[in-house]
Amino acid sequence: MTDSYLPRAEYEFSEHPIGSEQVDPDPIVQFRIWFEKEARSGERDGNRMALATADDAGRPSVRMVLLKQFGTDGFLFFTDYGSRKAIELEQNRHAALLFHWPRLQRQVRIEGAVDRVSREISEHYFSLRPRTSQAGASVSRQSEPLLDRDRFESEVRNLGGGSEPIPCPESWGGYRLVAERFEFWQGQPGRTHNRIVYLPGGDGWQRSELQP
């Protein structure tokens, strides 16, 4: 057995305790409160989230994506339908999201089932993207082998430099995760962190606190 562990991080948690009675009864409202506070903290990428999926054999994979909308109907993100994440979501609709906001010493975990959104929603959002992003999404066959990067980049430049509207590819669109479980995590000194969980119950949500 080796004693060569990684160096201990010089990081101290502030004391900002929360309990199950100090959060909103509605987890969407509570998420919005934290999300907006993260935005006010000066962090530019508070909508970054880790998306964990698994294939039909239970083998997991995870990557960072961007949240584009949230509300009572779920958490919206977009991707290429040929990507690994999309293929796994077709095999297994259950996925998990993780938001990590280190400035506030907070994390939010969300689990639920994922479905494609309507073509109308996908096309509308695609129309709002920068032209360079539209061109990249149109040329890319995400997760397939890239045999010639120079050619790929040339095709993206040529399409992006044109003047004709770039239509939303049929292979690109949105997904929405409908939450079945929330966990709000607040860092505390001595690693005695607060963990508030919301689960469906009764006519709404039941919340409780977990040990750290």
pLDDT at 93 over 80: yes
Q: Which two tokens stand for residue 131?
A: 């032209």
* pLDDT band at residue 204 under the 50/70/90 scheme: very high
Question: What's the burial of 101, exposed, middle or buried (CB within 10 Å: 0-12/13-18/19+)?
Answer: buried
Identity of the amino acid at 129: R
pLDDT of residue 14: 75
pLDDT digits (tens, 9 = 90+) for 124-180: 999 999 999 999 999 999 989 999 999 999 999 999 999 999 999 999 999 999 999
Rounded to whole angstroms, the Cα distance separating 203 from 120 reads 32
Total number of residues shown for the chain: 212
pLDDT tens for 57-74 read 999 999 999 999 999 999
* Active-site choice (8, 44, 149, 191): 191
Q: How far is CA 182 from its chain centroid?
A: 13
Q: Phi and psi dihedrals of 42, rounded to 5?
A: 100, -5
CB 204 within 8 A of CB 26: yes
Q: Are strands 48-54 and 74-80 parallel, antiparallel or unpaired?
A: unpaired
For the chain, counts of helices (H) and of strands (E): 5, 9
Q: Is the pLDDT of residue 2 over 80?
A: no
Q: Could you report the per-residue pLDDT of 15-47, keeping only the tens digit for each? A: 677 877 789 999 999 999 999 999 998 888 999
Confidence of residue 10 (pLDDT cuts 50, 70, 90): low
The amino acid present at 198, given as its one-letter code, is Y
User: Is 191 noted as a catalytic residue in this protein?
Assistant: yes
Prediction pTM value: 0.92
Q: Domains in the chain and their CATH numbers?
A: 27-209 (2.30.110.10)
| pLDDT at position 88 over 90 | yes
Q: What is the pLDDT of residue 126?
A: 98
Residue labelled with tokens 């309990």 = 19
pLDDT band at 3 (very low <50, low <70, confident <90, very high): confident
